[in-house]
Structure 1
Amino acid sequence: MSLIWLQVGQCGNQIGQEWWQILSSNVTDADRYPYFSRDGLINSICVDTEPKVIRKLRQQVKRGYFRDGNIIVGQRGRGNNWAYGYQGISSSAEQSLLDRTMEAFRKEVERRDCYSGTVILHSLCGGTGSGLGSRLCEEIREAYPAGYILSVTAAPHETGDSPLQHYNSLLCLAWMQRFCDGILLFQNDEVMKRATSLVEKKTFTASGLQPSVSLTSMNTHIASCLVGLFCPVYSLRTRSSVSVGLEPWELIRCLCPMSTMKFLHTSVVCSRGAASWDKVTSSVVQTIPRANPRGQLHHSLSVLAVARNSQDYPFLLSRDAVLMKLRQAYRCVSWNPSPIHCWTDPQNILDPSCQSHSLTVCANHSSAADLMSGVLSKARAMYDAGAYLHWYRRFGCEDHHFQMSFDTLDSVVEEYRGLGVP
């Protein structure tokens, strides 16, 4: 009972909805305690500046209940503005969402036998997810410095979700780099591509038109990646076969040994029937970004593979071949003595109704620099032109905040681009 789940903004709560639906329906009673309190309530704080999404969340998650005091909602949005979300509303008409959230967080910490960390779900684009999410990470780090913070972050479409998305992404990424121990980064364009391929496998269209992909399908894919990584695995249970929720913190320990590089790329493949592990591994490998726009090959600092199967013996026979294939495909750096890790569990929670197996691979991968480079170039062009800056200055975001963020992401990009250099 050491984890606290924190869902911030529309995107964070929609991903959380899919996560809790999968988890509450499939996790066994013995493994509930990292995610549910002893009184049966879900270990999550849900925060948004508008009530609509959280209202739907509470209706959709049928086999679990959220604590009333952990539902923190406002009555007006944050205008897709990081500074507005970070600073909040200075009005007596609406009590600070930050204060209410931190009070709920304190009470959740006191319910724990031993608080070890927080998983925060949010986006880079919206004002609440990016701005309030950044502020909460900062406040939690200051109040509970010994606990881990793992961010699950959704990046906007490259073509544009909002005219302010580049500023919001710049500032939020810089805050995540400063205050989080690890960042699971999901790019909407890549998530849509993956969700589309899954829909195509399940749907036949006589017209040959590409089937449409809903936002729910994209959120379900992200939630499936989280389930593959965070659901209890046999490898991390106690001797009495009890899960204490070590998975997020062991993931950080395995994949983020250097504080300058902590952005993680995740892929998952789930297969029914008798498909070989080599075929499943090949499907995962196909999702890896190969090179940046300049043609430079990507590399990985470290890789974690999580294999779930109704019978783990076949995987154990293939384990060495699978890990070698992943090590080569992800181009693990030669100077890391232990670049690849493996967890196994004899149950596939992603598809427990039949014989199936899944492979979830998470890597500290240099493709994160591509996203940050794009954000830097577009945000710089806007900043140099003075575009929209008055919207941020209005809420106390000044030039030094932007300059610090530019410098932070520049250094991260430089670190990742140096991964493959001998």
Structure 2
Amino acid sequence: MSAMWLHVGQCGNQIGKEWWQILTSEKGLHAEADRYPFFSPDGQLSAICVDSEPKVVRKLQKQVRRGSFRETNLIVGKRGRGNNWAYGYHGLHSASEKNLLERTMESLRKEVERRDCYYGTVLFHSLSGGKGAGLSSRLCEAIRDEYSLGQILSVTVAPHQAGESPLQHYNSLLCLSWLQRYVDGVLLFQNDAVLRRTAALLGKKAPVSDMQPQVSLSAMNTYVASCLAGLLYPLKAFTTGSGISLGLEPWELLRSVCPMPTMKFLHIAQACKSLPCLQHYSTSVLAVARSYQEDTFLLSRDSVLRKLKQAYRCVPWNPFPLSCWTDSLNIVEPGCHSHSLTVCAKHSSSAELLQQVMARAEAMYKTNAYLHWYWRYGCEEEDFQQAFEMLCSVADDYSRLGE
């Protein structure tokens, strides 16, 4: 069962570059059988890269040297989308540039037809940009309509709370509501949290207490990609008797951690020297341990799961909140003494993000700030009202997890 890998916008393609560099490096995809979830039968990547400007996509194409992107799957336009959800969602009104949505869906259809089985799409994007938020929202809607039986897993990056664009709160509000409607699960990375985790891994500290540590964007993207590799790289447990990977990892992840359709937002972290002490309640947790001493880890499995259950404050009403996958290969840091523990959890901190997005978007909405840019490109008041209502309901569900 194979997946399509769809990268949209600058952020989605930059993370895609790090993701494919890990998978196509000399240390990645050791077994030919592990190539199945990522490559078409002709040896080219099952990836589609979309952006309204060519720079980032062409850079990705050049730097992923051992992976071959199909030229027709590199879909670029000639102008940006102004960091505007409505512009990205509805697209250009001019017929001079063929619609990015149509070109992407055509490439997706052809890529699906090359495989013997289609099970879903993994979408990489951000919440803040015109393409990452707007075009991705429209693509989720179109993919759900065209392939209703397939699943959609979104890898979503939320912007810094301090601000990256004056329109980011509107864009995040609308995109989150579309994700809630059309996808099956959202692996949510918040830039502020990613920056702190990356800084901790690199051993960097903020120069002043009220300032963020200095970490490059590339390092942050590498951290996100390594978390994804820890979760989604093929495991022996999901291979056939002949050892061929079916690419079940993304969909088994959804089954294990995201079974409830009303709550789809998931959080990922790599456990380094210690487990986090969360102030939030978790309904479900998946730990993926990769170590050359796989058998040794299994001997201490019960102890690790007890610590995870305590650290992630698993709700008492779920009798089986923890799942654990193990494998002997650590793709991020291969070697005879390497090991990693990647944890994916659904916990109540999602309520805080949703409430922050709604509060800031509502403050702007009440003063009619920047709304003319959304009306101009086809957005309507109903889009905002439905988004506020939907996210308010979801935030309430997450807030009550510990009850």
Report the TM-score, using the length of structure 2 for normalisation. Answer: 0.96
Contact 2:41 2:114 in 1 (8 A): no
Which of 384, 396, 400 pairs up with 1:414? 396
Q: Which residue of 1 aligns with 2:55?
A: 52
| 2:114 matches 1:97 | no
Aligned to 2:354: 372
1:218 aligns with 2:220: yes
In the alignment, structure 1 residue 184 sits paired with structure 2 residue 187: yes
Structure 2 residue aligned with 1:18: 18
For residues 253-296 of structure 1, the C-alpha deviation after alignment (integer angstroms, 9 at most, x for no partner) is 011111111100101136xxxxxxxxx4xx2x22x5x33xxxxx
**3-state DSSP of counterpart to 1:66:** coil
Specify the alignment match of 2:239 in structure 1: 237
Q: 2:332 is matched with which residue?
A: 350
Q: Which runs of 4+ in 1 moved over 3 A?
A: none
Match of 2:383 in 1: 401
Task: Determine whether 1:260 maps to 2:262.
Answer: yes
Look up the match of 1:381.
363
CA-CA distance at 1:333 after TM superposition: 1.4
Q: Retained in 1: the 8 A contact 2:282–2:312? A: yes
Residues 200 and 211 of structure 1 are in contact (CA less than 8 Å); yes or no, is this contact kept in structure 2? Answer: no
1:269 to 250, 271, 284: 271
The alignment status of 1:308 with 2:310, answered yes or no, reads no
Q: Is the 8 A contact 1:311 1:347 kept in 2?
A: no
2:5 aligned residue: 5
Match of 2:45 in 1: 42
Q: 1:142-197: CA deviations, max 9, x gaps?
A: 01000000000000000000000000000000000000000000000000011111
* Equivalent residue in structure 1 for 2:252, among 250, 253, 262: 250
Distance 1:210-1:102 versus aligned 2 partners, 3 A rule: closer
Amino acid at match of 2:363: A
Question: Is the partner of 2:317 in helix, strand or coil?
Answer: coil
Counterpart position of 1:141: 144
3-state SS in 1 of match to 2:300:
helix
Look up the SS of the partner of 1:302 in the other structure: strand
Contact 2:36 2:244 in 1 (8 A): no
Q: Which runs of 5+ in 1 are unaligned?
A: 271-279, 292-297
Q: Which moved more, 1:209-218 or 1:172-181?
A: 209-218
* Alignment check: 8 A CA contact 1:30 1:242 kept: yes
Q: Which runs of 5+ in 2 are unaligned?
A: none
Change in 2 beyond 3 A, CA 1:126/1:55: same
Q: Indicate the residue corresponding to 2:317 in structure 1.
A: 335
Matched to 1:406, the amino acid is: F
Residues 348-389 of structure 1 show CA distances to partners (whole Å, capped at 9, x for unaligned) of 111113411000000011111111110000000100111111
Deviation at 1:199, TM superposition (A): 1.6
Quick one: which amino acid aligns to residue 172 of structure 2? Answer: S
Shift of 1:211: 6.4
Amino acid at match of 2:35: R
Q: Which residue of 2 aligns with 1:27?
A: 29
Q: CA deviation at 1:212?
A: 2.5
Q: Is the 8 A contact 2:50 2:75 kept in 1?
A: yes
Distance in 2 (alpha carbons) for counterparts of 1:269 and 1:415: 27
Q: Alpha-carbon deviation of 1:62?
A: 1.1
Is the CA contact 1:199–1:211 (under 8 Å) kept in the aligned structure 2?
Answer: no
TM-score (norm 1): 0.92
Residue range with higher mean Cα deviation, 96-105 or 229-238: 229-238
Letter in 1 for 2:160: H
Q: Which whole-Å deviations, capped at 9, do the CAs of 1:290-330 have from their partners, x for residues lacking one?
A: 33xxxxxx111100000000120110111000011101111
> What is the identity, as a one-letter code, of the residue corresponding to 1:107?
K
Q: Distance in 2 between matches of 1:249 and 1:112?
A: 17
SS of 1:120's equivalent in the other structure is: strand
Q: Return the letter of the residue paired with 2:22.
A: I
In structure 2, relative to structure 1, the CA distance for the partners of 1:210 and 1:414 (3 Å cut) is closer
**Equivalent position to 2:113, from 110, 114, 134:** 110
3-state DSSP class of the match of 2:110? Answer: helix
Conserved? CA contact 1:5–1:120, under 8 Å:
yes
CA RMSD of aligned residues (A): 1.5
- The 10-residue stretch of structure 1 (239-248 or 398-407) with the greater mean CA deviation from structure 2: 239-248
Answer whether contact 1:7 1:44 (CA < 8 A) is retained. yes
Instruction: Describe the superposition over 1:85-144 as per-residue Cα deviations: whole angstroms up to 9, x where unpaired.
Output: 000001121000000000001101111111100000000001000000000000000010
Aligned residues: 396
Cα distance in 2 between the residues matched to 1:339 and 1:151: 22
Q: Helix, strand or coil for the counterpart of 2:393?
A: helix
1:129 aligned onto 2:132: yes
